[in-house]
Structure 1
Amino acid sequence: MNEKPNLGALFGAAADTRTFLGLAACPDLDALSAPIALIGAPCATPYASVGAYCRHAPDALRRATASLTANIDRHDFDNAGPVFPVPDLRAVDCGNLPFDEADPAGNRDAIRGAVAKVLQRGAVPVLLGGDDSIPIPMIEALGAAGDGYKYTILQIDAHIDWREIHMGERLGLSSTMRRASEMPHVERIIQVGARGIGSAATTDYEDAVAWGVRFVTAYDLHRTGVDAVLGLIPEGSRIVLCIDADALDPALVPGVIGRAPGGLSYYQVVDLIRGAARRGSIAAMDFVEFMPERDVDDIGAFTLARLITTALGVLARQAAERTTIPA
C-alpha cells in the first residue's frame, strides 16, 4: 500500500509532463513568437565544493505542474481569470540549456546567448534555475541588447550576494548582486527578504549600502508590508526580478540549502511581483536555488511552481496590454 495514487489523473492531467504547465515546446529560439519564454538553466558558475547542486530543479518544477496541465484554461483565483487570458499570448517552454560543470564560461555564454535571442524576438525571458549565479549572464545580456535601457533589479532573497570573491570565484552565487552593481545598465537595486546569517560580511553589506542598494529585510517586510518595497520602484521602470527560493519560508519551500525561519509568504511574493508590474514593465525574471533533493514530499516544488504560474499570468497580462489582437 506504499504506492501513491496519481492524483493528477483526478483532474484529467497527463502522467508525463515534459513542459511547464503542459505549454507548447519551443526548442528553437530563432522560431520564438510567444511573448514569454521559459528557459531551464541547470548551471552557470558552480563552486567546486558543491558543483551544480540545483541542476535538477527545472525538471522538478515542470513535474510539479502535472496536476494543473489539464486545467490551464480554468479560472485561476490568483490571476483573477485564466493564467493566459489571451490564447495567442501564451508562454512557451524552450527546454533546458546544455551545461558542463567543468566549463562555467561556456555555461554563461549559453545563458547570455539564449536570453539575447529571446530579447531579440521581443519576448520576456523567464529562467528556471539552477543556482543563483545564473542571473549574472542574464543581466549581462540585457545590457548587451544595445537598446540603451536602464534597469531596476528587484531581488527577493534571504541573502544579499555581495561578496567580492568566494572560494576563488568572482562569478558565483555569493557575488551576484555585486557583479550586477558593476554593470552600467543597472541603475537601481532593491533587495528584499534578507534574514538570518548568510555568507556576507558586514563590510559587504556596507559596500551595498554605499553603492545605493535599498534593503527591506524579511522582518521589515513582515512589519510594514510590501508597499515599503513598491514605493522604492519609480514609475515606468524596466524591472528585472531575481527570485531565490530561500526567500520564502522553509515551511513552504523546504528544498533549499539555506533554510531559515521568518521567510516570506507565498502571497507576499505574489504581491511583490504584481506590484512591480504595476510600477513598470518586467523585462526578465529568474527563479533559482531550488534543490529538489532537499524538498519534503514535493511541497516546495509545487509552491515555487505555483508562484511561477502566477508570475506567468502577470507577464501574460503585461503582454496583452501592449498587443492589439485582431477581432
Structure 2
Amino acid sequence: MVIADPFWPRADTWLASAAEAPDLVVAGVPTSSASLTPSEAWRAPAAFRAALARLATFDGETGVDLGRLAVADLGDWEVAGLDMHQAAAVVERRARRLAGGPVGAFVGGDNSITRPLVVGLAQGDLSGVGVLTLDAQHDVRTLDAGPTNGTPIRGLIEDGLPDGRVVQVGIHSFANSAPYRAYCAEHRIEVVTMETVDEVGAGWVVASALRDLAERCEWIFVDVDVDVLDMAFAPGCPGARPGGMTPRQLAAACRAAGAHPKVRAADFVEVDPARDPSGSTVLNLATAFLAFASGVASREVTDA
C-alpha cells in the first residue's frame, strides 16, 4: 500500500504533473530488439514509473526539491515489437520533434536508442554535438550485425560525429577488447576508467569532463548505461560486471551531468526488469534519473 502523505511528495506524482511549459520532458522508449543478449528491457519504462512511487522529490544531498522543476511525461514511444531498424527510425523521427525544446530524459530500452536519439535531436547535423557516456563498455562494435546495442558510439562516428567529441566514464576491466580500445584512440575518444572514478570521485570526473567537452561542442548528450554499476547493484543489467560504480557514484555522476548547461538530453538504458526480482536495479535506474533531474533543477538555482 502506498500512503499519500502531503508532507512527503512522491516522485511519481511529480512526473505525472503534466506541466504546460516544462523544463524537463520524459519519454519511455520500450525496445530491446537490438540487444546482443536476449533482454526484456522493453519493460523498463513501465517499471521505472512504478518505482518512482517509492522515491521522494527532495534531494537530501543538495537540498533541491524537484517540485520546483516543471516536468511533462510524454508517455512511451511506439517502438515495442519493432525490429532494430524500424525502432531506430521511429526514435529518430520522434526525437527530431523535440529538437530545440526542453531538456529531455529518455528511458529505454536498450542502448541502441542512443544513436537515433542524438541524430534526431541534432536534426541530422552532428557537427556541434558532444557525447558523454556512463558505461562499462565502449559500444564501438562493428555494424556488421546491424545497429545493435553494442554499436551506438561507432554508429554516431560513422554518421559524422567529429573525432574528439566523446568521453566515456566508468570503463571496466575485462569488459572490452584491445581492438576496440584502439578504435577509441584512433577517434580520440577520451576513456576514464573506474580506477580514476574511485580515486577522484564520480561527480568531479563528470563535471570536469563536461567542462572540457563543452569547449569543443555546442551541446552535449549523456548516455547513462546502468550497467556501469557493479553487478552486485544491478542484477537486472545483462552487461554489468564486477568492479563497477556504486549507486551513490552513479547518482553523483548523473547529478553533475544534469547541472551542466550544455547538456540537452540524457538516456537511461539497459535495465531488464525480468532479471531484477528484487527491483533493486529498477530503483537504481529511477534514482539515477532523479539525480539527473536534480542537476537540471539546480541550473535554475544557480542562474537565479
Range class of TM-score, shorter chain? 0.7 to 0.9
Out of 72, 84, 87, the residue aligned to residue 92 of structure 1 is 72
Offset at 1:223?
A: 2.6
Are residues 1:63 and 2:50 paired? yes
Q: What are the within-5 Å matches in structure 2 for residues 1-327 of structure 1?
A: 6=1, 8-9=2-3, 11=5, 20-24=12-16, 33-43=21-31, 46-47=34-35, 50=38, 53-68=40-55, 72=57, 75-85=58-68, 89-120=69-100, 122-144=101-123, 150-165=128-143, 168-186=144-162, 188-198=165-175, 200-226=176-202, 227-233=204-210, 234=212, 235=214, 238-277=219-258, 280-318=261-299
Measure, in 1, the Cα distance between the counterparts of 2:161 and 2:136.
25
User: Alpha carbon RMSD of aligned pairs, Å?
Assistant: 2.9
> Residues 48 and 282 of structure 2 are in contact (CA less than 8 Å); yes or no, is this contact kept in structure 1?
yes
Offset at 1:265?
A: 1.9
Identify which range, 137-146 or 289-298, moves more after superposition.
Answer: 137-146
Measure, in 2, the Cα distance between the counterparts of 1:265 and 1:314.
19
Larger Rg: 1
Unaligned runs of 5+ in 2: none
Q: Which amino acid aligns with 1:80?
A: G
Measure, in 2, the Cα distance between the counterparts of 1:320 and 1:34.
16
* 1:278 to 1:34, Cα distance in 2 relative to 1, 3 A: closer
> Residues 257 and 292 of structure 2 are in contact (CA less than 8 Å); yes or no, is this contact kept in structure 1?
no
Q: Which amino acid aligns with 1:33?
A: A
Offset at 1:160?
A: 0.9
> Residues 248 and 266 of structure 1 are in contact (CA less than 8 Å); yes or no, is this contact kept in structure 2?
yes
Deviations 1:21-56 (A, max 9, x none): 552376xxxx96312111100116525873x62110
Q: Which amino acid aligns with 1:176?
A: P
Q: Which amino acid aligns with 1:67?
A: R
Offset at 1:81?
A: 2.6
Measure, in 2, the Cα distance between the counterparts of 1:45 and 1:320.
40
Instruction: Spell out structure 1 runs of 4+ moving beyond 4 A.
Output: 10-13, 19-22, 277-280, 319-322
Paired residue secondary structure (1:231): helix
Measure, in 2, the Cα distance between the counterparts of 1:157 and 1:63.
24
Paired residue secondary structure (2:26): strand
Q: Which amino acid aligns with 1:98?
A: E
Offset at 1:218?
A: 1.4
> Residues 221 and 263 of structure 2 are in contact (CA less than 8 Å); yes or no, is this contact kept in structure 1?
yes
> Residues 21 and 70 of structure 2 are in contact (CA less than 8 Å); yes or no, is this contact kept in structure 1?
no
Q: Which amino acid aligns with 1:77?
A: G
Deviations 1:62-117 (A, max 9, x none): 1111133xx54xx43134131243xxx41111111112544333311221122222
Identify which range, 99-108 or 253-262, moves more after superposition.
Answer: 99-108
Measure, in 1, the Cα distance between the counterparts of 2:124 and 2:155.
18
Match of 1:3 in 2: none
* 1:47 to 1:300, Cα distance in 2 relative to 1, 3 A: closer
